[in-house]
Amino acid sequence: MTGYAEVILIFNLAADGLLLTAAGILLGQPIKKTRIVIASMIGTIPLLLHMITGWDWLIHFAVKLMTPVLMLVIAYKITRIAILLSASLTFYFVTFLTGGVLFGFQSVFLNGAASGQFSTVLLFILSISVAFYFIQRRLFSMSTKRNFKKQTVPVTFSICRKEWSGTALIDTGNSLCDPITKKEVAVCQIRHEDGWPAAISSGEQAILTQLPDQWAEKMTWIPARSIGAEKQLLAAFRTDEFTVFLDGKSIRTDRALVTFTTVALSDDQSFFCILHPNMVRQ
């Protein structure tokens, strides 16, 4: 019986450590192994005392609810209530999701034809790995897209010594790109009086043949489904330099294409360019 109790305690210690680590990574907290181990040991104390004394209050719901909070404080030195609440909810979410995945694996492997081939420990490690992948890659990806959806950033680019700078909208719905080179395309608003070639600022494709040679060499045709019209070819231009300023950092690329329009892109003039979301990836 003693050996069985030791296995339970060790498994509980390891499980707490894995859950704390996963929650810390998702929260962006620095991971310190020593503090994780100490916090995991704190989380095991109620179970150990219950085995020794038999006191039922040690496994009461309130104790189970508050123990992870103390573990998070020890593991990541969290002192602010708002951050602690967010960290606690993240820890509970990881725990419940891992438990659900573990239950599913047990139902498939331990109660089915493959019964006996997988230990509970192995299934737990597999479960927390799957849960962590789902949270980080799927939920965080969706959250990033929502955050980018209405974000505006400063942008500057140059073509044939002609420079443009202004505010751009990161539009996750913009999938415009060159189907051959896979270069992303930005839509930029210009004005007639800004000195752009007349063939571009006029907005008429018929006179694009009148472009100067240096501009004509940079032009390519991009098939588009809907930018003012259905199923048309847009004239896009290869930039000499394209820079996006995001979170205090500059993201520079020479793989950008720009198509121009004289139509206002924003009714309130809050942005003058629409970016492909890949243009802000570092």
CA angle at 43 for the pair 38 and 49, rounded to the nearest 5° = 115
* Catalytic annotation present for 171: yes
Q: For residues 7-27, b (16+ Cβ closer than 10 Å) or e, as one string?
A: eebeebbebbbbbbbbbbebe
Of 16, 56, 171, 194, which residue is the catalytic one?
171
Burial 208-241 (b: 16+ CB within 10 A, else e): beebeeebeebbbebebeebeeeeeebbbbbbee
Q: Which residues are catalytic?
A: 171
